[in-house]
Amino acid sequence: MEVTAQEVAEWMVKEIRFKGQLYQTDAIEYVKVHFGEQFVFINENGNESLSKEVKKAFRKLHGGRIAWDRDGFQWAWT
C-alpha cells in the first residue's frame, strides 16, 4: 500500500502532540526510513527538507496549533 503525504503529516502531528516538539532532523530521518525518500528533498540551501505536499497537509491538519521554531529547527505545540 502506498503511503501518502497526509499519513506523514498525521504522524508528525501525533509526535508533536505526544512529545511537545519535533526536531526537523529527527522528522526527516524517521520519514525517510518509515515512509520513504519521496517525501524528502534537498532545498535551495542544500539541506534536506520535507516535501511541499507533506508541509501542506501538515499545515491543514494542525490549523495553527503548531509553530515552527526557526532557531531550534523544530516544530512545537502552541
* Interval 5-19: pLDDT, tens: 999 999 999 999 999
Distance of CA 26 to the CA centre of its chain: 9
Options 3.30.200, 1.10.10, 3.40.50, 1.10.3470; CATH of 5-77 = 1.10.10
Sequence-distant (≥ 6) Cβ neighbours of residue 71 within 8 angstroms: none
pTM of the model: 0.93
Domain borders along the chain are 5-77
* pLDDT band (50, 70, 90) for residue 45: very high
Sequence-distant (≥ 6) Cβ neighbours of residue 58 within 8 angstroms: 8, 9, 12, 13, 50, 66
Place of cell 525518500: 37
